[in-house]
Amino acid sequence: MEINSFVIFIAAIFTSNILLTNFLGMCSYLSISKDMEASAGLGMAVFFVLTFTSGLNYLAYHYILVPLNLVYLQYIIFIIVIAAFVQLLELVIERFSPVLYYSLGIFLPLITVNCAIFGISLFMIIRNYTFIQSIAFGAGSGLGWLLAILALAGIRGKVREKMLPKGMNNAAISLIITGIMALAFIGFSGVVIIQ
């Protein structure tokens, strides 16, 4: 059955949030979320890169790897596409929009090793999405990631770290907050379902 691309887009943001249900992109999520502005910057960058790389990787997979029967090389090709795209994006942004470059610039190299980007490409191949569906899935997942990291940064800003039990600051408390957030997001499940 063909799923509407818009449904996939909404579902990727809420019901199957890439971070809260698939646990992708946790490393940078935990380390960056101390700072609201940095979280917003990284989130925007992830959204941007995800939207484009999911499309590019779709094309690379279906028009290069499948005809040449080289599907087992998909990991290497995806990594190269992502790294190359991030480099290119850095150059383009630096040339045309210095303001954007200064706000996103430092986050772009971090993105190459963000497992969310790579994971989305793999999910999209496994679930057999069409081109439009893949882009919708990428964009939705990026927005979902942005939403999750902003929410965590906001909550962490309110937590008074001195009041916490010993040893619970940083990673432990972030994980527990994320757990509660994930519980809240489960409330959305059943609204729309994609695999």
Partner 1 sequence: MKTKEILKQSIFTDNSICRQILGICSALAVTNLMMNSLVMGLGVIFTTALSSYTISLIRDYTPRSVRMMVQTLIIASYVIIIDIFLKAFFPDISRSLGPYVGLIITNCIVMGRAEAFAQKNKPFDSLIDGVGSGIGYMLVLLVIAFVRELFGFGSLFGFKILGDWWTPWSIMVMAPSAFFVLGLLIWYINYRSLPKQA
Q: Which residues bind partner 1 (CB under 8 A)?
A: 20-27, 30-31, 72-76, 79, 83, 112-115, 118-119, 122-123, 126, 165-168, 170-176, 178-180, 182-183, 186
Which token pair is 10?
């909404």
CB of 152 to partner 1, least distance (A): 11
Q: Which is nearer to partner 1, 7 or 177 (CB)?
A: 177
- The Cα–Cα gap between 187 and 185 comes to 5
Q: Which is nearer to partner 1, 30 or 100 (CB)?
A: 30
CB of 137 to partner 1, least distance (A): 13
Contact criterion met (CB below 8 Å) for 141 and 116: yes
Q: Which is nearer to partner 1, 59 or 80 (CB)?
A: 80
CB of 109 to partner 1, least distance (A): 9
- The Cα–Cα gap between 47 and 49 comes to 6
Task: Name the H helices within the chain.
Answer: 5-13, 26-32, 36-60, 66-68, 74-96, 98-104, 107-112, 115-126, 131-158, 171-186
- The Cα–Cα gap between 145 and 26 comes to 10
Chain CA centroid to CA 56, Å:
16
Q: Which is nearer to partner 1, 80 or 97 (CB)?
A: 80
CB of 72 to partner 1, least distance (A): 6
Q: Which is nearer to partner 1, 25 or 140 (CB)?
A: 25
Q: Which is nearer to partner 1, 24 or 136 (CB)?
A: 24
CA nearest 4: which of 140, 182, 147, 123?
Answer: 140
CB of 171 to partner 1, least distance (A): 5
CB of 100 to partner 1, least distance (A): 24
- The Cα–Cα gap between 5 and 22 comes to 20
